[in-house]
Amino acid sequence: MEIETHHTTICIGTVSHLDPAITKQQPGVDLFQVEGADVCQDQIDSALLEDLHCQRTIVFVGGEQAKLEAQAYGVRWIEDTPTVNEDLLRFWRDTVPEWDSP
């Protein structure tokens, strides 16, 4: 029996370079959008609790706010640049999933 892996991907704020088709083509991607004048910690926590008891990777995508939140949660951040799609594919391929992370 193969263990299911989830790729929790949280976009914080406006993410203009991410191609939604990339996330739909990658098996196990759970995409969440968190936005607003004040990023709501409850929104991030809810997304992180979605697949708590499974094997997964976690990445925050976006600008400076996403970087700060990733540092606070101790997870990976990928900047919203023209290479974000390739960077995400590389992250999902190369990152070793963890249990009950973070």
The DSSP secondary structure of 45-70, one letter per residue, reads: HHHHHTTTTSEEEEEEEESHHHHHHH
The Cα–Cα gap between 100 and 102 comes to 6
Q: How confident is the model at residue 54 (pLDDT cuts 50, 70, 90)?
A: confident
Predicted pLDDT of residue 90: 96
The pLDDT tens digits for 24-52 are 898 999 999 998 656 677 888 888 887 66
Sorted by where each starts, the structural domains of the chain and their CATH numbers stand as: 5-96 (3.40.50)
24 residue type, one letter? K
